[in-house]
Amino acid sequence: MAALQCVRSLSKVRYNVLHKFSAAVMVVENKSVRRYSTSHQLVGKSSNSRQHLSYLYELYHRRIEVGPEKERHPSEYGCWNHDAEIYAFGQRFGEDFNDMVLKEAFVQRCFVEQEIEKQKDLGLDMEIDMTDNEILAEKGYSLASRFIKAYLRYSFPQLFEEGISAIHDFLLSDEMLFHIGCNIGLKELIQSATYPPEHPTYVTTLKAVIGALIESQNEKKAEDFVLDLIIPQLVGIDVSELWNIENPMGLLCALLKEQNLGEPEARLLWSSASNTIMPLHHVGIYSDKKLLGKSPGETISIAEDMAAREAIKKLLNMTDNRSPLELGDKAKNLELDFNKTNRSVSELNCS
Amino acid sequence: MAHNRVIQWGAMARTWWLYDAKFQCPYRSAEKLCMYLEGRHKPLYHPLSDVGDHVVVINTRYVAMAEDLWRKQQYKHDTRYAGGKSSATAWRLHEADYTKILYKAVYSAAPKNLLRPTIMRRLHLYPEEDVPDDIIGNVSDVIRQIQVVPKPLDSYSAQEIEEFPKLFDWPEDHVIYKRKATTEKKEES
Amino acid sequence: MVFLTFVRNASRYTFRGVQRKYVETSEPSRLMKRHQMKRVGAKYYGRLRNCWIIGVNIMNKALRYSTRDTACKSEKLDKLYSTRLEAACLEHGMDQKYFLTSLAEFDINLNRESLANLAIYEPRTFQTLVEFVKKRSLEIGLQSKTLGAPMGLEPRGILEEIKKASNSSSS
């Protein structure tokens, strides 16, 4: 009897362990199964640690062969209340969203199409009461764009329009919006045909959330949302590097001429290791015997170019020691002029 | 655009320094030169990274030694063969090569690790003031000397010596012992 | 022996007993322990890595070394920060000891590490601190400490002479 009990318990252990990894074994091709055919005999055969170790090795290699598990939406695990999650999303920002509108902001076009096809497959002729978020996204984008440009014109009044639009493009680029969308927890809320959602869907959803805020409350609230989420991305970034000036020396000449200052004069301040392959030249730009900007460079022409950029930065009040951007509660009541535009470089050259 | 890149280039570039070794103690100079060669004068220094500068030293022929170190300081060498040990006093070594004393001083002051050969290659020693054009063209700055260069008595004119303020003058009948010049002795013998 | 504890605790679970269940034991499995030590010996070459009896002593010694050297890691870093700060002070012709004591007197509580990092990443901020100390010492009347010239402001007469000489000889 004792021997019989032992055999039973053995088979029980074998069954349990194999059951756990049955999914893994099924995916593996026939060849691999044959290769590992002896391994299941190790399971529970004895308490010898050497055999247990080789069993663990076996499992480890099988896991590698099968590969990582597919990423699944939390709803597939059974505990998911979409309405509650969307309500919580709004509450996390301290905003009063209209739940229906906010729900709409997360619905992608591909999701609606998928739902319609599902119904067709089932043979139902019911109309689906679902609209995608594209209209909201358009609304949100136009508001964000308008507000960001006005804010930048207010913060950098002397910067040219080209520079303003370069910073604006940086803030509203797909990568930047994707980065923001990733970090405010859009991933699980987005309703799209695929999971995890593709990168462009994050971008449209973030825009649509801004649009939903306009619909549920007002434009002022949506602007504050943009001010709190998108504009702080400029912190720690060299704003003047975002705008690539093509001909800095020409622009500097025109700027100085406009301000009735003398023509720029580049002088070599000092150079080191000039006969080696890693030379260093410091060039300063003077106007009326006053130093406007200086910069190092590996050749004299590069250093001159960079020094001209420094001089332009100084003339446009964009130096590194300027006061920081106004953000947070301070910036809530700024008097922004939405109709004002800064002058462009072409205007300067004409005059 | 890319202005930060050139700032980085400027921060990491190697500067070339000039040091005048005229009437300077080689051992104390070596400590100062090592600071520049290792890069310990830069805030971004790290002992494992090679961030040192180049140093061009001129007038190594005229280094000055304290007390009678020229005679007493021994420089030893061993060929690792039987009877291969030899030693030379500082003045003999200096006669053989005018840059050797300072080279050895810097070599022993440098960190004793695998960076030492690299550091030594950045030291350029010249016995006189004539430095090749391609070397001196790189130099951009000067390291301050550690000692004040004394002005020799020969360089004072007779008028300057006469005008030098005196506290008192010896009376005419005062006899001052004067050692005879060595050249005169030789002539006599 | 910080590192040995993780090796010892690597596997305290083995198959024991009639019912063939995982049982927590006081001693880890011998083989599991060896398996974990492979991580330590991975950097060695040949039989030092592959044979247990040959490699075990050297692996234990390596763990002992690393435990010992973590103790003096902070000392080494302190030394590095001190060297860096000295260099940063030298750039502005300031004495490090005087700089630190003055900052402490004026209730600017920054240690060597943060000052050295400021000197690297925010040189202008560091410069303002040095200038503040210089001004304060002038107000108090201790000028002698601030008289050192900043680095790179040595008289360059000799350099110009030599360059002139080399230019005249070449032309």
C-alpha neighbours within 13 Å on the C-beta side of residue C14: 21
pLDDT tens for B102-126 read 999 999 999 999 999 999 999 999 9
| B2·A241 Cβ contact <8 A | yes
- Which residues, in sequence order, are CB contacts of A308 under 8 Å at separation 6+? A248, A249, A251, A252, A264, A266, A285, A293
Question: CB-CB: which of C14, C17, C19 is closest to A52?
Answer: C14
* C130 vs C118: CA distance, rounded Å: 12
Q: What domains are defined for chain A?
A: 21-69 (no CATH), 82-234 (1.10.1520.10), 245-326+342-347 (3.30.160.20)
CATH of the domain at B37: 3.90.1180.10
Residues C7-27, mean pLDDT to the nearest whole number: 53
Mean pLDDT highest for which of A337-351, B82-96, B146-160? B82-96
Whether the per-residue pLDDT at C163 is higher than 90: the answer is: no
Count of domains in chain C?
Answer: 2
Structure tokens at C137: 């010492």
Structure tokens at A185: 């927890």
3-state secondary structure (DSSP) of residue B171: coil
Count of domains in chain B?
Answer: 1
B 67-126 near C (Cβ less than 8 A): none
Min distance B138 CA to chain A CA atoms (Å): 4
3-state secondary structure (DSSP) of residue B3: helix
Band (C35; pLDDT cuts 50, 70, 90): confident
pLDDT tens for B51-108 read 999 999 999 999 999 889 999 999 999 999 999 999 999 999 999 999 999 999 999 9
Residues B131-146, mean pLDDT to the nearest whole number: 92
Whether the per-residue pLDDT at A6 is higher than 90: the answer is: no
The domain in which residue C16 lies consists of 1-31
* A223 vs A331: CA distance, rounded Å: 11
Q: In what order do the strands lie in the sheet with A290-297?
A: A265-272, A280-287, A290-297
A180 vs B184: which has the higher pLDDT: A180
Residue given tokens 């030098």 in the structure block: B164
Min distance A134 CA to chain B CA atoms (Å): 35
Question: Backbone phi, then psi, for B167, in 5-degree steps?
Answer: -80, -40
pLDDT tens for C87-118 read 999 999 888 999 999 999 989 999 999 999 99
Residue B114 burial (CB < 10 Å; 0-12/13-18/19+)?
Answer: exposed
| Chains with ≥3 CB–CB distances under 8 Å to C | A, B
Least confident of A29-43, B52-66, B143-157, C75-89: A29-43
β-strand pairing of B85-89 with B74-78: antiparallel
Predicted local confidence at residue C152, as pLDDT: 59
Mutate to test the interface with A, among B9, B51, B56 (most CBs of A within 10 A): B9
Whether the per-residue pLDDT at A157 is higher than 60: the answer is: yes
> Taking the C-alpha atoms of B71, B73, B74 and B75 in order, what is their torsion angle to the nearest 10 degrees?
-120
* A124 vs C61: CA distance, rounded Å: 74
The domain in which residue B48 lies consists of 2-188
Predicted local confidence at residue B78, as pLDDT: 95
Whether the per-residue pLDDT at A18 is higher than 90: the answer is: no
Asked, for residue C25, whether it belongs to a domain, the answer is yes
CA angle A203, A204, A209 (to 5 degrees): 100
Q: Searching chain B, which residue's CA lies closest to the CA of residue A270?
A: B140
Predicted local confidence at residue B175, as pLDDT: 83
Please state, for a pLDDT cut of 90, what percent of chain B lies above it: 75
Please state, for a pLDDT cut of 70, what percent of chain A lies above it: 85
Whether the per-residue pLDDT at A347 is higher than 90: the answer is: no
Predicted local confidence at residue B149, as pLDDT: 87
| Distance (Å) of CA B170 to CA A29, B175, B176, C83 | 116, 9, 9, 56
Predicted local confidence at residue A40, as pLDDT: 46
Whether the per-residue pLDDT at C26 is higher than 60: the answer is: no
Least confident of A191-200, A329-338, B127-136, C43-52: A329-338
* A269 vs B65: CA distance, rounded Å: 38
Asked, for residue C157, whether it belongs to a domain, the answer is no
Least confident of A206-210, B58-62, B141-145: B141-145
Average pLDDT, chain A: 85
A7 vs C164: which has the higher pLDDT: C164
Residues B136-165, mean pLDDT to the nearest whole number: 89
* B45 vs B52: CA distance, rounded Å: 8
Listing DSSP states for A196-252 in one string gives SPPHHHHHHHHHHHHHHHHHHS-HHHHHHHHHHHTGGGGTTS-GGGTS--S-HHHHH
Whether the per-residue pLDDT at A140 is higher than 90: the answer is: yes
Predicted local confidence at residue A267, as pLDDT: 95
Mean pLDDT highest for which of A30-44, A279-293, B173-187, C15-29? A279-293
Question: CB-CB: which of A46, A47, A49 is closest to C30?
Answer: A49
| C159·B139 Cβ contact <8 A | yes
Residues A204-225, mean pLDDT to the nearest whole number: 94
Of residues C160, C18, C151, the one with CA closest to residue C92: C151
Question: CB-CB: which of A10, A44, A49 is closest to C14?
Answer: A49
| B43·C154 Cβ contact <8 A | no
The answer to whether C108 contacts chain B (CB < 8 Å) is: no
- Which residues, in sequence order, are CB contacts of A3 under 8 Å at separation 6+? none
Residues C145-164, mean pLDDT to the nearest whole number: 71
Band (A28; pLDDT cuts 50, 70, 90): very low
CATH of the domain at C139: 1.10.1900.20
Q: What is the DSSP letter of C81?
A: H
A 299-328 near B (Cβ less than 8 A): 302-303, 306, 309-310
Please state, for a pLDDT cut of 90, what percent of chain A lies above it: 66
Band (A236; pLDDT cuts 50, 70, 90): confident
Predicted local confidence at residue C110, as pLDDT: 95
Structure tokens at C35: 């398996």
pLDDT tens for C47-84 read 999 999 999 999 999 999 999 999 899 999 999 999 99
Predicted local confidence at residue C5, as pLDDT: 55
Whether the per-residue pLDDT at A39 is higher than 60: the answer is: no
Question: ipTM of the predicted structure?
Answer: 0.79
Q: Searching chain A, which residue's CA lies closest to the CA of residue B53?
A: A273
